[in-house]
Amino acid sequence: MSLAQAKFVTRALEGLAEVELVIVKTTGDRLSAAGSPIEWKGDFTRELDEALLDGRIDFAVHSMKDVPTQVPEELALAAVPVREDPRDVLIARPRRSFKELPSGARVGTASPRRKAQLLAARPDLEVLEARGNVDTRIARLAEGRFDAVVLARAGLARLARLEEASEVLPTSLILPAIGQGALAIYARRDDRATLELLQALDDAASRREAEAERSLLSTLEAGCKAPVAGLARVIDGSLTLSAGVFSPDGSSALREHSWGPAPEAVSIGRDAGCKLLERGAASLIDAANR
């Protein structure tokens, strides 16, 4: 978990319980700090799962997009707090919009999903690897290694750096990652006291959105390298899900939409995934994972 995420949850529990903050460095944290690629979502969660299971901590805070679709059965998703805006943002130097970037502009991202959609919209851009945490990527932009970088809006918001964004990118241009903007708080399934405490942080709409998006991802059986995107929204008890699978170079794209009552979130996600598979999504995912 990031320190900003942990502090958010700690503040949210003020008055309900005394919370001791325990920082657990994960394999994903170390790889990200070193600028190395992340091969498996579990790199961000494994050490936290182990700390939960052996009793060193009582609950763990994750970015939902970093949580594998399969978690240890001894753990339960205790809460999904109110979701941050899930969209991506462009930070450009000098400050300008995506449309205003000149042909050949160097855009940095570590995400195959973002790269595919950026190239689909602007094949004239040069999309380059930009790894590391938010501070590192923005620093490299300032150094002139890139003309722009694309990051999650939620990450900037939690670091109070939103004013640095040049543009919030519409989902019609770049569909977000599965679970982007949402937090996932896990606890031991048999720890009733902690589960009941954390229930106060759970937001029903955000949980349903996460369920639909993660069901989509599970159905597609896509890994970290596959350019898969999805965004669910709950409005007035109904859930809509926009999903997409892309070729790595952005030359091919499959999009689907599913909807229904919010309590049917899992089946809505499965439906969108099955539609994409029927249209050939597996071949795009396989090409990305080679």
**Average pLDDT score over the chain:** 89
Catalytic residue among 66, 88, 147, 191: 66
Q: Which two tokens stand for residue 29?
A: 């944290």
Measured CA to CA in angstroms, residue 250 lies from 118, 155, 227, 244, 270 at distances of: 7, 25, 9, 12, 24
Start-end of CATH 3.30.160.40 domains in the chain? 203-290
User: If one looks up domain 88-168 in CATH, what number appears?
Assistant: 3.40.190.10
Domain 203-290, CATH class in plain words: alpha beta
Peptide bond into 94 cis (omega under 30): yes
pLDDT above 80 for 200: yes
How do residues 76-118 score in pLDDT, each as one tens digit?
999 999 999 999 999 999 999 999 999 999 999 989 999 999 9
- Biggest CA-to-CA distance, the chain: 57
Measured CA to CA in angstroms, residue 214 lies from 76, 162, 228 at distances of: 15, 27, 11
Closest CA to 49 of 31, 32, 67: 67
pLDDT band at 5 (very low <50, low <70, confident <90, very high): confident
Which of 145-149, 224-228, 269-273 has the lowest average pLDDT? 224-228
**Residue 202 is among the residues annotated as catalytic for this protein:** no
Residue 59 pLDDT: 93
Q: How far apart are CA 60 and CA 184, in angstroms?
A: 8
Place of tokens 């918001």: 157
What angle, rounded to 10 degrees, do the helices at 204-220 and 281-289 form?
A: 80
Residue 85 pLDDT: 96
1-80+182-202 belongs to CATH 3.40.190.10: yes
Start-end of CATH 3.40.190.10 domains in the chain? 1-80+182-202, 88-168
How do residues 163-193 score in pLDDT, each as one tens digit?
999 999 999 999 999 999 999 999 999 999 9
* Terminal Cα-to-Cα distance of the chain (whole angstroms): 29
